[in-house]
């Protein structure tokens, strides 16, 4: 079936309740949804003349189409990214099958496409102890904005939270009697995390300034950081705050997820077992937690220094 014919068959998918793509996207967390939607748009541009993903007749895909998409993904993306997009396509087709838009045999044949093989060095980096110290020093403890930034950074690192999880925290999630924070995480899963002493101190200082009015735990500011706004911080506001602190501290750029990677490596360095770190980080699979660990690269670099190369300038 050609592209034009596939595009023409999208009329039956207008209603969200009958749209396998929209149903699949609805199962994703708010942080994953924009990324996956962007990836599906790229697939659409390449194979469906740029039709919006929600209007692509994914239910018409068959094994040959999935195989062609897989080949293109293998050329354009790192293996992990390509396999994530293939997983999304399988998820969309599963919804199409459940909605009765695909037959059982067509569905099973379509998804029978192998994973893209290969490995890339993990993205991101871990922050050093010196970099973390410099970041906290740059959080001015005498201003409302500085107190908030210090607490946000302390919880982000001390609990290994995702960016979505941090901005989604509510005051009611802080359980002072347990010294724990209830986090609503990825996949609609809740977990308890336990801020270490330094993070609890930073949080207590912030709560003194914020007050105990119900609402989001971390709030945006106005009037150059001198006044609080009682609404949820945006992702961009958090990222901007971290970028400003990093610039002032002379720390190379980093992302909130780099802070999360640092948490995983530092916890393992401190002697915590992988299963415990996995539970604290909210990972469904210990393999994911292991990929966040950057200690192996440091060990390899240290081992390389032991080798003598007899070169003289």
Q: Which of 65, 67, 248, 257 is catalytic?
A: 257
Question: Is residue 222 among the annotated active site residues?
Answer: no
Give the 3-state secondary structure of residue 191: strand
Question: Is residue 300 among the annotated active site residues?
Answer: no
- Of the candidates 141, 43, 123, the one whose C-alpha atom is nearest the C-alpha of residue 86 is 43
Q: Which of 24, 107, 157, 292 is catalytic?
A: 292
Give the 3-state secondary structure of residue 78: coil
- Of the candidates 189, 191, 181, 190, the one whose C-alpha atom is nearest the C-alpha of residue 156 is 181
SS3 per-residue string spanning 192-258:
EECCCHHHHHHHHHHHHHHCCCCCECCCCEECCCCEECCCCCCHHHHHHHHHHHHHHHCCCCCCHHH
Question: Is residue 292 among the annotated active site residues?
Answer: yes
* Cα–Cα distance measured from residue 231 to residue 107, given in angstroms and rounded to the nearest whole number: 45
Q: Give just the sign of the alpha carbon dihedral 136, 139, 140, 142.
A: negative
Question: Is residue 24 among the annotated active site residues?
Answer: no
Q: Which of 70, 95, 148, 162 is catalytic?
A: 162
Q: Is the CB of residue 129 less than 8 Å from the CB of residue 258?
A: no
Q: Which of 70, 95, 210, 260 is catalytic?
A: 260
Q: Which of 95, 163, 261, 283 is catalytic?
A: 283
Rounded to whole angstroms, what are the CA distances from 253 to 54, 247, 265? 35, 8, 19
Question: Is residue 77 among the annotated active site residues?
Answer: no
Q: Which of 62, 186, 248, 291 is catalytic?
A: 186
Q: How many residues does the chain have?
A: 313
Catalytic positions? 162, 186, 257, 260, 283, 292
């Amino acid at each position: 079936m050609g592209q034009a014919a596939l595009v023409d068959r999208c009329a039956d998918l207008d209603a969200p309740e009958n749209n396998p793509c929209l149903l699949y996207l609805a199962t994703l967390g708010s942080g994953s949804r924009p990324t996956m939607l962007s990836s599906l748009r790229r697939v659409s541009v390449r194979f469906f003349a740029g039709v919006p993903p929600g209007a692509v007749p994914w239910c018409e895909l068959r094994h040959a189409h999935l195989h062609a998409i897989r080949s293109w993904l293998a050329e354009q993306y790192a293996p992990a990214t390509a396999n994530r997009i293939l997983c999304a396509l399988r998820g969309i087709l599963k919804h199409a099958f459940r909605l009765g838009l695909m037959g059982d045999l067509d569905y099973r044949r379509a998804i029978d496409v192998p994973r893209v093989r290969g490995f890339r060095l993990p993205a991101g980096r871990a922050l050093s102890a010196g970099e973390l110290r410099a970041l906290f020093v740059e959080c001015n403890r005498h201003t409302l904005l500085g107190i908030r930034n210090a607490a946000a950074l302390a919880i982000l690192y001390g609990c290994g939270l995702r960016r979505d999880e941090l901005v989604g925290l509510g005051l009611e999630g802080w359980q002072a009697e347990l010294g724990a924070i209830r986090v609503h995480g990825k996949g609609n899963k809740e977990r308890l995390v336990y801020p270490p002493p330094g993070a609890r101190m930073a949080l207590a200082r912030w709560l003194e300034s914020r007050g105990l009015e119900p609402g989001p735990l971390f709030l945006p500011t106005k009037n150059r950081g001198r006044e609080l706004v009682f609404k949820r911080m945006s992702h961009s506001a958090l990222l901007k705050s971290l970028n400003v602190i990093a610039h002032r501290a002379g720390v190379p750029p980093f992302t909130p997820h780099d802070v999360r990677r640092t948490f995983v490596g530092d916890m393992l360095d401190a002697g915590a077992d992988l299963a415990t770190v996995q539970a604290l980080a909210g990972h469904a699979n210990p393999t994911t937690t292991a990929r966040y660990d950057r200690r192996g690269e440091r060990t390899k670099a240290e081992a390389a220094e032991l080798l003598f190369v007899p070169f003289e300038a």
